[in-house]
Structure 1
Amino acid sequence: MHRSIQELGIDRLSVADRIALAQEIWDSIADTVQRSTPSADEAVELDRRLAEDLNAPEVAIDWQQIRSAVQKRWSQN
């Protein structure tokens, strides 16, 4: 059931209240996802990725490297 922000009256909230509401919705989704268990297919994929990381840790890319590459790319545009 899809209801619009106008039907729910969300468009009448202040920007700060809409941001707070969006954060509450996001947090509730995160809580639900954290409490759920992975499906059989997801568990197989997680196991595969873990084994890959354990077998070749040297190929992992550190977050700082990714961030630096993205920043460099954006600064060139």
Structure 2
Amino acid sequence: MSNHPLLKVEISQLSIAERIQLAEDLWDSILDRQDEIELDRAQQQELDRRLEQHRQDPNAGSSWETVKQRLGTSK
């Protein structure tokens, strides 16, 4: 695994739950600075397409609560 100085333990030594929490914490730290995320043209177009699709039919798809239930998580 990585020898990054911030990682005090090998990721493979963490339990599955701890690894999931680490991934969530990492993602949250990125979202806290989302204004720094740059999208390329294709990514922006895809997001625009999905947003328009949602605007046309906001009831399509599943709620976050439903998705969590299907995945068996509680967060």
- Calculate the TM-score normalised by the size of structure 1: 0.50
| SS of equivalent residue, structure 2 residue 38 | coil
Offset from partner CA, 1:15-58 (integer Å, 9 cap, x none): xxxxxxx7xxx37x716x62122111111001000011011111
Distance between the aligned counterparts of 2:47 and 2:63, measured in 1?
A: 19
Higher RCO structure (Cα 8 Å, ≥6 apart): 2
Q: Which runs of at least 4 in structure 1 moved beyond 3 Å after TM superposition?
A: none
**Higher Rg:** 1
The residue correspondences of 1:57-68 to structure 2 (distance < 5 A) are 57-68=58-69
Tell me the residue number matched to 1:45. Answer: 46
Runs of 5+ unmatched residues, structure 2: 10-21
For 1:30 and 1:69, locate their aligned partners in 2 and report how far apart those are by CA, in whole Å: 26
Q: What RMSD in Å do the two structures reach over aligned CA positions?
A: 3.8
**Structure-2-length-normalised TM-score:** 0.52
Q: Which runs of 5+ in 1 are unaligned?
A: 12-21, 72-77
- SS class of match (1:68): helix
Structure 2 counterparts to residues 1-77 of structure 1, below 5 A: 4-5=3-4, 8=5, 10=8, 26=26, 30=30, 34=34, 35-71=36-72
Percent identity for Structure 1 against Structure 2: 18
Instruction: Return the alpha-carbon distance in structure 2 between the equivalents of residues 4 and 69 of structure 1.
Output: 36
